[in-house]
Every structure is written in structure tokens, then in C-alpha cells.
Chains A and B, each alone.
Chain A
């Protein structure tokens, strides 16, 4: 056990050190680079916490897409970011806030140490109620059956978020192609990567969704990988991002949640409750929902990264 403890202690210390760096370093760019490293470590920590499903989400989302989003933002903000660090509040205020934050941490630490000793848990209840759902992965069972409403609302939440991102567009650009994606200089290495990697990413993504029914994985993880591959192709310039007015794209964005609601509503007649599945058909229905949701979530995540429509030319380029 000692080696395991060393691993855990190393991870905890590293994560704290990186968090400190993210908070305390001077330039935003350095903080973002630190945050990317932080995300990688978090993925390993989730593995150590026996939450492989979460680790996959963190690996895909935290290191892939979030890193891309924040690094791109930091680079685009760099020209404007003049001495903002020096506009911190005065030392007295900082010390005061620091002390209070330390008090919050200490209080939380005490709470963690005083959590009830035989930890209360729903694990056995989930295990007992997993068979009717037909899936073998308890996390998928919870997400798609027991707490399906959370998953439904959460896939719906992504849509206002996307509209929010689009809403900062300039009026004439509305409906055009998104313009926030970084466009690196033509590089044969990047092109090769964008040509070779996506098929494998697609296989991994589909595998995660399909296999997520019984083993760790699921639609969020799969969708994130698919979105990442799409973005990679766009960044490398192999394909153009679609214009946001395209009806096919719009349908793609909403079809997942609509199918989810449709199947949920049919449950009222067929299984006696909204979001219930008819006996014996739970697993195929769950897989069907996951399949369409994956497409919608992947498209939404990709477009969240791609940013607001920018007309025919990307924002920030000089014409």
C-alpha cells in the first residue's frame, strides 16, 4: 500500500502546486499552460479514485477541448492584456481575502475529516436496480435510467450555452461560418495528424459509446472525442466549418434531446412513466438515445469551441 500512497501523495502535491501556479503566476498564458497540465493530472487522480468514467471525461474534456479553448483565448487576449496583474487589490485586502479563503479551506477540511464513518452510499441500491435497465455500467444506468432527467436537462443546457456563444457575433456575420478556431500556418505535420488521427478517433469514440453500456465510457466521453477529431480537421484546414444557418446542422444539434424526450414521452404509455423504458427494451432504447445524443453533443461541443459566426472571414484577421 505504501507505493500507492506515494503515488497519491505525489498526485495531490502536484495538483496543488499547479493550482498555486495557475492562481499566482503573473501572465495569463503561463497560467493556462499550467491549467492544461493540471487537467492531465486530474485525469490520473480520477483513476486513483476508482472513477474511470470520470477519468475518461476529464481526459477528453479537461485536457483536450478545454486546453484548446483556453490556450486559444489566452493567445488572442495577449495583445490586450497590459499589466492587468498589477491591478490586483491592495495588499491588505489580498491578505484579508487570503485569510478568509484559508478559513474556508480549513472548515471544509474539517468537514471532510468528520464525514460519517460508515459512508452512506447508494451503490448497493444502484446495483440492485441495475438489471431492469439492461446495462452493465452502473454510471450509465444512473445517467440514462435512474436520473435520466438530469442527463436530458444537461444535454439541453448545452444549447443555450451555444446560443450564448453565437450571440456575441456581429449582426452581418449571423448565420455564417464560425470564426474563433485557431488557424495555424500550413504545416505538413499538422496536416498529416489531421489526416491520420480522425479515423482512429472515430473508432475510439464509437467504442466508448457502445462499450459504455457495460464498461466505463459513455456518450459524453465518446462525443468529446468525436468533437475533438472534427475540430482537428477544421484547424488543419482540411475542411471548412459549416455555416451556422445550415438546417442540417441545426437538426443535428437538437435531434439528440428531441429523440430522448420522444422516447421518454412514449414511456408514459408503454412503461407507465415519463422517462421510463418498457420492460425488456431498456437497453436497446438506452443505446439508441446514447447514439443520437452522442451526435448532438459532439456537434454542440465542437461548435462551442468553434465560436461565434464571423461571416466569411475569421474574426481578428486583417482583410
Chain B
């Protein structure tokens, strides 16, 4: 019924539905998921299921746009009480600005992935259904359903079910190719994510035990009325935060992310890196900015920000050492997650800039990372491998793909006018403004390190000796290349979006001035001095990296290990650092060590939260 209505009703009428509108993005993927097992066979030359999913994704995009329009024009959060039952008894749906942005973002990214994957997961002519096609398309809708439920849910337990829906859908995607390594990666991901879920649930239980409600709005009212946080609430906040951090894979809890994101099929990697880890981050935002606003003690904020800074430095450095393109991108995700957590130490005195910057980072990274993973998939498919050292010459066969990869990279580095630039400018300004200049420094260094590994990749691409046949084994589909390019361009041109649209961030929360912050950040972005000031460090880094490249005397055959011999001084320095970093990363990703980090973090957070209570 929703479907039919969507097809015939003009777009504008949708926004008149009010809160009921929220049911559409919640239920659309669920209905798709339920119908999927019945849709067998080929259709229009591909899989019926793939085409059906695409149609559903288009409808989902319309619905997300409608929600965003309604939220922005109405300038207040949409709310809906399911079954007409008011909380605390019933469950509410709510779309504030943040939800609307996330809904829209996931609709766009999943639609792009859906277009990309039409070719990868079509049904061969001699079959009506294959394992990979059914599993991929169903779980894609499962992920979508979990994401939308996580963005709209206003009840801590509903959110728990949404997280589980997300996890159960995401994990099998990792192991879709069925090799032992990816099975191990999926199992590791599942078990760590389950640990995160159960800690989250424990926190929700303690909230219920204290206030007999799980509704976010009601909890916020009751907690803000407390003279001091009760012990159960302190414990609950610590448990939920740590549980969600484990699912977000914030350093040092990133043990599962690199193998899982690198081992999944490229479209799945794109979804996992761009969206799935963001859902748990989004719930951390909900927890600290909606459930317990004002309870964020400086100590807590410093811990989260410190971990974020650690993630930026560590993730980028380890990424620099990766020999495989997909692993490099996965470690880049570890680093980029770090930026999200810088907003906590900034939020206390610069909430507008921090939240706007955080949301921009979510969007920009999602677009850029999805583009990069899918570009890497096209490269790997065309060349039959994704060893960075053997990428030489592939620019001739995949010019469009590499262009997209590069443009997405520019957003990660943070060049104007990309979303990355906006994020970094907003966060750096906020850091300087709040007297935490070291955070600004971390951001700058992070950008340079990002530039370094991108130069490293492109150095090999442009100047490396072609080791593989010039002709691709399987040329990428035009639609695939275009969709990757579109995502990359989206990330790059985010800064040119009219600032008024960023007011979406502030809908539903008082005292924010998102569009003003964005306008300030973009002011003067294209002045010559500013441009030069941003570009020359990159040039230096580029020269240093190119100096490290062993391409003139590259050994034949191309070993899969990274170059540790080099003529330049920077090469030796990087090699020394690498010998320190890689064992450190291996150690941190040992299960017991990661567990130890998690426990320490849990106790430290509990202590930190109680310092201000």
C-alpha cells in the first residue's frame, strides 16, 4: 500500500503525511527483505531481485528526500508514535536533522552500491538464483533496514534490535566469497560486534532499572532533572559507549575492521565502511547529545577525543604501510573514524562547529570511502590483483576509475571545496577557539599522512612499470565507473552546496548555527594565499613520498611486501617507524589485548563520567 501510494502520489504530497512519513523509510527495506526470497529468476538480462532492489532503492531515495524536505521546511523534528501508544509504554519514531541527513546519505550510498552491484551480482543465464545474488541483495536490504531503524528509533531497545539487524546482515556479507580468511574475519567481526551489542543492552537495562523507560526524550527529561547522576546511569553510559565504540571500531578496538572491510566484496566493503560503522557512531551521538545532554564531562570528552586523535595518527600511519589497496583503504577508515570523535572535546564550547563538522565528516567520508572501495574493486577486477606496487600502467586501462579514486582521495585529504575540507576547517577552528590547538595539529598531520599514502598509490599508478597485461581481464561496466565517479564528485563538491541546507543539522536541537558555521568556513576558501597555504605542504609530502618510491630499480615479479629499501632518508625513517608500527598493530589486534583495551576503556569511562556527576 505504501508502495502504490508512493508511485502515484506527487512528491510534495508525501511531506504532508507528517510523522507517518517516517514509517515509509522504516518499512520499505523490511518489505523488500521479506519479498526478496520469493523473487527468483532473470529479468531484463539480470537478476529479478537486483532490479527489484534497485526500484526499491529509488523509492527509498524519494522517501528520504521527502523526510529531509519535511524536516527542513517544517524546522522541527518529525515524530510518530507507533500504534498510537505514547512512550514510555509505546515506541516513538523521530527524525530530527541528524536522522534526516543519515537517511538521505544511506539512501544515496546504497543506491549507488545497488547500481554498481547489478553487474557483480546478476544471475547467470543458466540459473534462476545463485548463492551470491540472493545473499547479497537480501543482506543489502537488511543493512538498509537496520540503518533506517537505527536512525529513526527513539527507544533504546528498538535501537538494540536495529543494531542486531544491522550486524546479522553485515557479517555474512564479509564472508560472501567463502574463503577461510574471510570466514575468520566475519566470525571475528560477529563476535566482537556481539560483545558490543550485549554491553549496549546492559546499559539499556540499567537505564530501565533507574527510570522505567527506554524512550530517549523521556530519559533526557528525567536525567536532566537529576541533581547528580545515579550510579546506574553512570554505568549505563559507560557500558553503552564502549559497546558502541566496539561496533564503530574506534582505535584501539579496531581489531575486526581491517580484515572484515578488506575481505568483503567491494560493494559490501563500501556499505560497511561508509555506513555500517556510522550507525553505531550515530547512536553514540544520540546517547551523549540527546539522552544525556550536559552529562559529557571534560574528562569523558578528552578520552573520546584522545582515542580519536590516536586513531587518526595510528590508522593513517598503518595505512601507509599496506601493500594491498583494499587493506590500505580499510586502515584509512580506521583513521577517518577518528575525526568523528574529535567533536566530543570540542562540543562543550563550540557545539555548532563540532556537530556540523562531525556530520559533514560522516557524509564526506561515506561518499568518498564508498567511491574508493568500489574503485578499488574495479581495479582489482580489471588487473586480477590489488597490490599497490604492481599498479603501474593501470591508468591507461582505467582512467575514469582512477580519476574517481583520486577525487575521493582529495576529499579525504581535505582540499577545497570537498566535504573533508569543511570538516577539517570547522574542527580546526573549533579546536583553536577552545584552546585545544593540539587537536588542530592532529588534524593537519592526519591530512598530510592521508596525502602521503595517496601519493604512494598514485606514484605507483603513474610511474610504476606495468607488470600486468595492458588490456584488462574484464573491462569495468560504464555504469559502474560512472557511479563511482558520481560518489567521488559528491564528496569533492560538498563544500559548494548552499550553506542554508546545512541548517538541517540543527533541526531539533536548540542553539546551533550550522549554516553560519559552514559559510564562515567556506569564506575565503578559494583565496590564493589560502589555497597555497593548503597545497604547499602537500607538495612537500608528495615529493618526499615520490622520493621513497623504489620504482626505478623495482625488482621483477613484484613481491607483495611493501618496499622497505629506499635511497632516500625519508625512506629509512618510514621503514624504522614501520617496524615499530606493524607489530604494535598486530599486537593491538590480538583478541585478548583488544579485550583488555575494552575493559580499561570501560572502567576509565565510568570513572570519567562520574567525575562530573
Contacts and interface: CB of A to CB of B under 8 A. Distances in A.
Q: State if A and B touch, Cβ cutoff 8 Å.
A: yes
Interface of A: 89, 93-94, 96-97, 100-101, 103-104, 107-108, 110-111, 114-116, 119-122, 125-126, 129, 145-150, 152-154, 156-157, 159-161, 163-164, 166-171, 174-175, 245, 247, 250-251, 253-254, 257-258, 261, 265-268, 271-277
Given A150-B157, A153-B149, A97 B592 contact: yes
A170 B178 contact: yes
Q: Across chains A and B, which 3 residue pairs bring their CB atoms closest together, nearest first? A: A120-B212, A164-B172, A273-B84
A265 B4 CA distance: 13
A160 B82 contact: no
B599 A145 contact: no
B85 A145 contact: yes
B88 A115 contact: no
Nearest to B88: A122
Contacts, number: 188
A96 B596 contact: yes
Contacts of B590: 89
24 contacts: A93-B596, A104-B599, A110-B231, A111-B231, A111-B232, A145-B83, A147-B155, A149-B82, A150-B161, A156-B30, A156-B33, A157-B165, A157-B168, A160-B168, A164-B169, A166-B131, A167-B139, A254-B38, A257-B30, A258-B35, A265-B2, A266-B1, A274-B27, A274-B83
B386 interface: no
B35 A254 contact: yes
B135 A166 contact: yes
Nearest to B176: A167
B31 interface: yes
A119 B212 CA distance: 8
B22 to A, nearest CB: 9
B261 to A, nearest CB: 18
B231 A160 contact: no
Contacts of A108: 202, 235
Interface in B359-414: none
Given A96-B596, A104-B599, A148-B82, A160 B235 contact: no
Nearest to A257: B34
B171 A164 contact: yes
B481 interface: no
Interface stretch (B203-211, B290-298, B434-442, B558-566): B203-211
Interface string B151-193: 0000101100110110011011001101000010000000000
B290 to A, nearest CB: 19
Majority secondary structure of chain A interface residues (helix, strand, loop or mixed): helix
B551 to A, nearest CB: 40
Interface in B116-137: 129-132, 134-135
Please indicate which of the listed interface residues A100, A120, A163, A174 has the most CB atoms of chain B within 10 Å of its own CB.
A163
A254 to B, nearest CB: 4
Given A116-B209, A160-B168, 19 more contacts: A93-B596, A111-B232, A114-B231, A114-B232, A122-B89, A126-B89, A150-B157, A157-B164, A159-B34, A160-B142, A163-B138, A164-B168, A167-B172, A250-B37, A258-B35, A268-B20, A274-B20, A274-B27, A274-B83
B230 interface: yes
Contacts of B90: 146-147
A154 B168 CA distance: 12
B161 A100 contact: no
Interface stretch (B107-115, B498-506, B574-582, B600-608): B600-608
Interface in B49-97: 80-85, 88-91
B595 A97 contact: yes
Contacts of A114: 230-232
Contacts of B91: 146-147, 149-150
B213 interface: yes
Contacts of B145: 156
B27 A261 contact: yes
